Structure formats: structure tokens, C-alpha cells
């Protein structure tokens, strides 16, 4: 009996052993998505889209009023457009950081996944290099707003079990971004897979991607013009030789897809804030309005509108006679004492111009990230500096023309006639190169106008160039003591969650305040 049991038991072991030889294969889900079969192009689309989503409040509430494109009557107790008065608001101060580093849907996390999953895989050749270029779009904005931050070790919790990434010096981040742009842009290959459906910006057009890569190189190179002029000149020359944007058709922007606004996540986030969730607070700043009006800028009539009742679009008034900008730094108590306020005007505080929503606040409208107009104005400055060949005056004219024609990409109703552009350039000709500072002021003031609602870029270039010369506000309880803000603070939980690396960054860069300058921001 025992012998029979032994034989049966042995037979079962043999059977189980034989089955085990193929057990793993038999128990694999043929439909499961694994790293070896997942197409990272699916992540690329979302990574691109999320670059323009989730950080709107930082751009609108801080960067835009910092550069005095926008103004508000709100004070520290009413939380919107805090950059108007240099006051602190945790959520809007941190929105860009949190949105970028979000562990699930953060733009940097998604693009890092694309890079990791496509590296060294020939079938993803262009996707890999496109993702490397896109990574610079994400990080240059982030480091320009905060300074030193996690870069080389960022988003490596899953891949390398790095849960407390070190903060890298902005100088090193810039060096790597520029080298990535140089290598990735050169390696893009139109003969390989183009990812026409996954790329929501250029539909896989390699020629446009190359111009985009070199235009980004130009922007980053010019950012170093004061801190490292020799390196700046070298990178600008490389960008110019490589070939930058040639027309507004090259403009880099992300559009919302839900015109009706039934799903907020599919709308242009800035437009949502300006036309749906935040209709009352933001007004056109007097500094910006007066500059455009004094120059008889044809863009002005398409940019502004008075909504005497911001909750009712039917109260829109585009009559030039009633348009005016709101001074920065006022609140509802100080407004009635300001000469700009008319106590008998309809709308009371809403007598001031806001953003023309039909042009700049369409829910399916574009959020501009990099434009031909900007590129040409940067080339104008580079030509004044003697860094590139060419006529600075022609680059200037190209830049102004491109910036004006760009408005038609927001809405066809904002198409500016060529005759109006010519009249503007005739009345505001390039000042020449004899006085370089005057040339820099003119070029960068036009750059400031050209980057309206591209708050991050406008704020970065104002700090870099010093133009236009903006008068700081000194509202009670502000973060700077009435001096111009130079950066945003790190999130409040960083000193707790990543204390050692946070402290090292502060020791290297300076106090974690709005007054500390980032690496390239030199007087």
C-alpha cells in the first residue's frame, strides 16, 4: 500500500515538474501591457498637452502681473493675480512646480517615461529625440521661475529608487539642456517613423522640429547674455547656423480641444480662468495699455475690451474711447482715490479694460510657447551685439510683423492688415545700432508686447534684459519690500520632504525668497 502511494506521489511530482516548465508562459496575460510592448508615443501626446495644463495659475497670477501685462484690485485676502502686489499665495506659487513634477500626470514625468522607454530602440528614433527636445521646454520654464531644482535625478523614483532627488545648479541644467538640444535636433531623421498622430504640435514634421530645436537653443543661449556672454554667443551662433523659425506657421503652441467647455481638462486652461472661473479679477495693466496706445499699436484694439458686467459677455464694449488700463498695486479702498477712476462710469471697477475674450480667451484657443516673432527679435538683439551676421533692423521688422500676424492664430477676427503693420513700423522705426542700450530697450520692449499671455517667457526676458523698465509696486505685506521680484519660492513641503537637498540648494543659490536672483539674472 505504501509502495502504491509512493508511486502515485512520485508520478504527481513528475507531472507537476513537467507542467512547471511552461507554467510562466501559460500564465502570461497576452493582452497585458508591459514595457517591451508598450508604445511610448501614447505618453508623448499627453506629455505635450500637459505642458500647457496645470500651471496656468502660476503664469496668470504671478508672471503676467509681475511684468505688468495684467493688474487686479485683489489684495492678500482675495486670492487671484497675486503678482500684482508681490504677495504670497501657496497654491498659485506652487502650481507650476507641482504640475510639472506630479508623479502620475506631470509633464516632466510623462516625457521622462518616453525618453526611458524609447532610448536605444531604433523603431522610436525620432520619438526619443523629440522627447529630449520637449524636455527642455518643460525644464527651462521651471528653472527660470524657481532657480536650482531637481533635474538629473528627477522622476527616477521608479527607475532608480531615487525618492529625494538632489537640486541641480541652474548653470548645470542650462548646460545640459543646450547640449541635449544640439544632439537631439541634429539626429532627427525624416526618413524614419514620423509620429504624425502622436505629435499634437507639428504632426511629426521633422523640418519644423529642427527649426523648433534651434529656436529653443537661441532662446536659452540669449538667456545667458549677461552671466556668460561668451557661451551665449557660441550657442546663438549654432542656433542661427542650424536654422530657426522662418514664419508664424512654425509657432509652437498647444490648443484646447473643447470649444464648449463641457470638460475643463480639454480646454485652454488660461482661457478657462479668464473667461469662466475668473471673470472678474484680471484687468489689462495701465503700463501695458499705455505703451501700446502711445505707440498706436494696431494690436491694441484686438487685445482689450471692457466688460461692465464680467459675468455677462453681452456687456462687452470695444469702443476705443472707453478703453483704459488699470494701475498696478491698487485695491478697492485705494482705487477711488486714483485719477484713473471715474465714479460715474458704468461698471464701477469694471470700467477698466480686460482681455478681449473672443480673441485671447477661447476655450479651444492656443497657448503660445515659442513664436517666430520672439525668435526674430532675439536675432535682432544678437545682431546688435555682433554675434550673428545680418541686418538688425530687418530682424526687428520681421519680429514685429510676426508678432502682429500671430494674433490671427488666436482668432481670425484679429487679422491685422499689412498696411497697418507697415504704418506701425514707419512710425516706430528701428533706432539703429549706434546706441546699443537704446536698441536693446526697443527690441525687448517689443518682445514684452509679443509675449502677452506667455507670462513665463515675458517675465524671464524682462529680468534678463532689464526692459521695459517697470516701476515696482510696494503694497503692504508684499514679499520683496517693494523691490522687483526675481523668482518664486519653493513649495512649502520641500524643506520637509527633501530637506537635505533643499537646504543645499538654498545655501548655494541664496535665501528662498522672491528677492533672490537666479543664476542668469545679473544686473
pLDDT tens digits, 378-421? 999 999 999 999 999 999 999 999 999 999 999 999 999 999 99
Say how far apart CA 41 and CA 124 lie, in whole Å: 8
Look over the chain and give the mean of its residue pLDDT values, rounded to a whole number: 92
Whether residue 376 is found in the same domain as residue 348: no
Q: What is the DSSP letter of 471?
A: P
- CA–CA separation, 275 and 357 (whole Å): 6
Shared domain check, 431 and 353: no
Report which of 465, 365, 406, 448 is spatially closest to residue 245, judged by C-alpha positions. Answer: 406
**What is the SS3 string spanning 283-347?**
EEEHHHHHHHHHCCCCCHHHHEEEECCCCCHHHEECCHHHCCCECCCCCCCCHHHCCCCCCCCCC
Statement: residue 315 has pLDDT above 50: yes
Enclosing domain of residue 296: 283-361
The domain boundary residue, chosen from 334, 361, 388: 361
Max mean pLDDT among 1-5, 268-272, 349-353, 431-435 falls in 431-435
- Lowest mean pLDDT of 62-76, 105-119, 167-181, 207-221, name the range: 62-76
Asked whether 176 and 143 are in contact (CB, 8 A), the reply is no
- Structure confidence at residue 86 (pLDDT): 96
Q: What's the pLDDT score for residue 310?
A: 87
Same-domain check for residues 137 and 241: yes
Confidence band of 334 (pLDDT split at 50, 70, 90): very high
Q: Positive or negative CA dihedral for 310, 312, 318, 319?
A: negative
Please indicate, yes or no, if residue 5 is contained in any of the structural domains.
no
Is the same domain home to 159 and 86?
A: yes
| 90 and 183 belong to one structural domain | yes
Determine the pLDDT at residue 504. Answer: 98
In a domain, 522, yes or no: no
pLDDT at residue 381, as a whole number: 98
Q: How many domains does the chain divide into?
A: 2
* pLDDT confidence bin for 25, thresholds 50/70/90: low
- The whole-angstrom separation of Cα 219 and Cα 239 is 9
- 302 and 231 in a common domain: no
The CATH number given to whatever domain includes residue 447 is: 1.25.40.390
Which residues, in sequence order, are CB contacts of 304 under 8 Å at separation 6+? 284, 289, 318, 323, 353, 354, 355, 356
pLDDT value at residue 348: 87
Q: What is the pLDDT of residue 33?
A: 47
Is 35 among the domain residues?
no
Same domain, 147 and 65: yes
Q: Check pLDDT > 70 for residue 268.
A: yes
Q: Taking residues 43-55, what's their average pLDDT?
A: 94
Are residues 292 and 405 located together in one domain of the fold?
A: no
The verdict on 444 and 379 lying in the same domain is: yes
Structural domain contains residue 215: yes
pLDDT of 34 > 90? The answer is: no
pLDDT reported for residue 28: 55
| Lookup result for grid cell 500564465 | 27
371 shares its domain with 355: no
Q: Which of 342, 361, 380 is a domain's end point? A: 361
Asked if the structure places residue 222 within a domain, the reply is yes
* Local structure of 138: helix, strand or coil: helix
491 falls within a domain = yes
**397 and 336 belong to one structural domain:** no
Does some domain include residue 515?
no
Residues 437 and 315 in one domain: no
Q: Is residue 74 part of a domain?
A: yes
- Which of 329, 361, 393 marks a domain boundary? 361
Amino acid at each position: 500500500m505504501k509502495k502504491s502511494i509512493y508511486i502515485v506521489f512520485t508520478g504527481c511530482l513528475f507531472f507537476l515538474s513537467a507542467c512547471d516548465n511552461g507554467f510562466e508562459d501559460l500564465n502570461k496575460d497576452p493582452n497585458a501591457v508591459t514595457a517591451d510592448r508598450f508604445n511610448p508615443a501614447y505618453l508623448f501626446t499627453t506629455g505635450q498637452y500637459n505642458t500647457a495644463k496645470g500651471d496656468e495659475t502660476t503664469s496668470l497670477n504671478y508672471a503676467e502681473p509681475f511684468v505688468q501685462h495684467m493688474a487686479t484690485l485683489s489684495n492678500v485676502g482675495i486670492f487671484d493675480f497675486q503678482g500684482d502686489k508681490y504677495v504670497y499665495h501657496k497654491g498659485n506659487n506652487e502650481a507650476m512646480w507641482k504640475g510639472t513634477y506630479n508623479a502620475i500626470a506631470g509633464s516632466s514625468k510623462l516625457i521622462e517615461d518616453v525618453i526611458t522607454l524609447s532610448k536605444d530602440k531604433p523603431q522610436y528614433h525620432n520619438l526619443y529625440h523629440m522627447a529630449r527636445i520637449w524636455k527642455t521646454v518643460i525644464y527651462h520654464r521651471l528653472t527660470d521661475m524657481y532657480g536650482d531644482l531637481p533635474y538629473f535625478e528627477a522622476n527616477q523614483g521608479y527607475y532608480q529608487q531615487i525618492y529625494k532627488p538632489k537640486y541641480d545648479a541652474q548653470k548645470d541644467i542650462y548646460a545640459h539642456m543646450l547640449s541635449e538640444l544640439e544632439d537631439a535636433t541634429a539626429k532627427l531623421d525624416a526618413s524614419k517613423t514620423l509620429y504624425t498622430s502622436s505629435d499634437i504640435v507639428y504632426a511629426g514634421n521633422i523640418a519644423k522640429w529642427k527649426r523648433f530645436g534651434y529656436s529653443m537653443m537661441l532662446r536659452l543661449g540669449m538667456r545667458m547674455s549677461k552671466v556668460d556672454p561668451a557661451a551665449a554667443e557660441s550657442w546663438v551662433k549654432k542656433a542661427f547656423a542650424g536654422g530657426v523659425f522662418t514664419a508664424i506657421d512654425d509657432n509652437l503652441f498647444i490648443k484646447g480641444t473643447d470649444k464648449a467647455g463641457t470638460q475643463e481638462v480639454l480646454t485652454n486652461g488660461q482661457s478657462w480662468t479668464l473667461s469662466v472661473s475668473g471673470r472678474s479679477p484680471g484687468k489689462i495693466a495701465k503700463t501695458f495699455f499705455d505703451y501700446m496706445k502711445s505707440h498706436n499699436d494696431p494690436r491694441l484694439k484686438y487685445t482689450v475690451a471692457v466688460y461692465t458686467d464680467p459675468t455677462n459677455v453681452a456687456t462687452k464694449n470695444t469702443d476705443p474711447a472707453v478703453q483704459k488700463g488699470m494701475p498696478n498695486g491698487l485695491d478697492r479702498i485705494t482705487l477711488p482715490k486714483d485719477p484713473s477712476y471715474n465714479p460715474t462710469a458704468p461698471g464701477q471697477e469694471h470700467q477698466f479694460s480686460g482681455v478681449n475674450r473672443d480673441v485671447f480667451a477661447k476655450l479651444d484657443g492656443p497657448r503660445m510657447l515659442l513664436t517666430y516673432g520672439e525668435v526674430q527679435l532675439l536675432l535682432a538683439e544678437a545682431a546688435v551685439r555682433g554675434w550673428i551676421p545680418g541686418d538688425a533692423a530687418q530682424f526687428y521688422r520681421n519680429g514685429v510683423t510676426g508678432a502682429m500676424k500671430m494674433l490671427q492664430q488666436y482668432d481670425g477676427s484679429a487679422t491685422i492688415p499689412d498696411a497697418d503693420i507697415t504704418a506701425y513700423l514707419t512710425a516706430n522705426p528701428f533706432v539703429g545700432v549706434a546706441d546699443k542700450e537704446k536698441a536693446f530697450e526697443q527690441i525687448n520692449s517689443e518682445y514684452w508686447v509679443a509675449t502677452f499671455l506667455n507670462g513665463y517667457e515675458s517675465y524671464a526676458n524682462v529680468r534678463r534684459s532689464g526692459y521695459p523698465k517697470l516701476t515696482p509696486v510696494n503694497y503692504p505685506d508684499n514679499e520683496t519690500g517693494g523691490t522687483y521680484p526675481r523668482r518664486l519660492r519653493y513649495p512649502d513641503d520641500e524643506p520637509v520632504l527633501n530637506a537635505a537637498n533643499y537646504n543645499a540648494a538654498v545655501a548655494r543659490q541664496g535665501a528662498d525668497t522672491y528677492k533672490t536672483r537666479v543664476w542668469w539674472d545679473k544686473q
